[in-house]
Amino acid sequence: MTTPTFSPSSSSVQLPAPAPLLTRTGWTAFIFALIVVCAVAPLLNLWVPASSPLHLSDYAVALLGKIMCYAICALAMDLIWGYTGILSLGHGLFFALGGYVMGMYLMRQIGRDGNYQSDLPDFMVFLDWKELPWHWALSDSFIATLVLIVAVPGLVAFVFGYFAFRSRIKGVYFSIITQAMTYAAMLLFFRNETGFGGNNGFTDFKRILGQPIATPTMRMLLFVLTGLTLLGFFLLGRWLVRSKFGRVLQAVRDAETRVMFSGYSPLPYKLTIWTISAMMCGVAGALYVPQVGIINPGEMSAANSIEIAVWAAVGGRATLIGPIVGAFLVNGAKSWLTVTAPEFWLYFLGALFIAVTLFLPNGVVGLLRRSKKEAKAAAAAAAPTTAAVDANTESLRKEEGAA
């Protein structure tokens, strides 16, 4: 069709250019983060002597590694909640599923070094089982484990998502169902007969790929791997949300009927991002287990899934960098508070969530962006004070990093 152009204007229309994957500042911050993860952290931990103030303690490495796993979850949550508007309270399940797959492999790596010197994992000997259950068949192979880490959460999410989205379940109903699904899975994993170690789960890991797991080098290796995964997922997320696919997701969030009447079927879009999000959580769980050395059904508790949503909300939904910042802020506060005032942690978490919902609908990153915008406006309005404002915006830009 030739569009009717009455009152034709001869001037050509300037169409906005597609946004780059990352801006220049974004790439600088990204490379900086890459160097910190791959070079600075290992150097400070392994080569700087413990007496030096620059030394990065093993405790800090373990903590940061753990938080980076959480940050991956928050990022995954942002894709489904921030960008698509679907609040999942079941991401703890996908995290735990990835963790359990990894845990099964690590249990098999123990070999005959367990308490009972048996070929079978200790808990099976304890239950008087004579052979491996069928679902442990692939647990000896590292390659199969790598595949299952994404395949199991992905498949569970796909099947669940297909039926939920096909029935057009939305909003709070969807959240409640995901929560129920997680709870049901937790009860299932608590049982001894399902073959996942009951309420003790898996622990006492000895080796990974034949190498001892509790050495500083291995810990550092896992740390670097987690950091690289986080950065890689960040880029993947950026690529997804700045493609037309990402814009359709935001359109689904803002006006789903209009999306349908524009000829898009929302189901495959929701299902794709939901499954990708679940897979990312699975990977996070698999990286988490060897670092903390334990996985049990507690990871599937309701509170864990809700916490993931809190990280994303605190950092700032629909910003990608926000959830990562949120995961670091909240978990930093958690590890500090649970040491100094353990009884207040849950109150703090609840208060934080309420405060963010009421006062920071766009999270910390949203607040920074707004103040940056206001600073710019102020700078434009009042020229004399530019020096101070410039310094302010500069620091903000740094903090905002790759966003």
User: Which residues sit at the interface with other proteins, rule CB under 8 A?
Assistant: 1, 3-9, 11-16, 18, 240, 243-245, 247-248, 250-251, 253-255, 257-266, 268-269, 272
Fill in the DSSP letter of residue 4.
Answer: P
Distant-in-sequence, close-in-space partners of 269: CB < 8 Å, separation ≥ 6: 84, 245, 248, 249, 252
Q: Which is closer to other proteins, CB of 224 or CB of 240?
A: 240
Q: Which two tokens stand for residue 176?
A: 């409640």
- Shortest Å distance, C-beta 266 to other proteins: 8
Rounded CA-CA distance 351/119 in Å is 49
Minimum distance, C-beta of residue 235 to other proteins, in the bound complex (Å): 14
Q: How far is the CB of 357 from other proteins (least distance, A)?
A: 19
Closest to other proteins by CB, 12 or 51: 12
Q: Which of 307, 240, 306 is nearest to 275 (CA)?
A: 240
Task: Take residue 54 and report the two structure tokens written for it.
Answer: 């620059």
Q: How far is the CB of 15 from other proteins (least distance, A)?
A: 6
Nearer to other proteins, 243 or 395 (CB): 243
**Which contacts of 205-209 are long-range, i.e. CB under 8 A and separated by 24 or more positions?**
205/103, 205/106, 205/107, 205/109, 205/110, 205/289, 205/290, 205/293, 206/109, 206/110, 206/111, 206/113, 207/106, 207/109, 207/110, 207/111, 208/106, 208/109, 208/290, 209/109, 209/142
Instruction: Give the nearer residue to other proteins in terms of CB position, either 173 or 245.
Output: 245
Q: How far apart are CA 395 and CA 277, in angstroms?
A: 32
> CA 361 to CA 384: how far, in whole Å?
33
Nearest distance, CB of residue 17 and other proteins, angstroms: 10
Shortest distance in whole angstroms from residue 12 CB to other proteins: 7
Whose Cβ is closer to other proteins: residue 248's or residue 314's? 248
Which CB atom, from 5 or from 340, has the smaller least distance to other proteins?
5
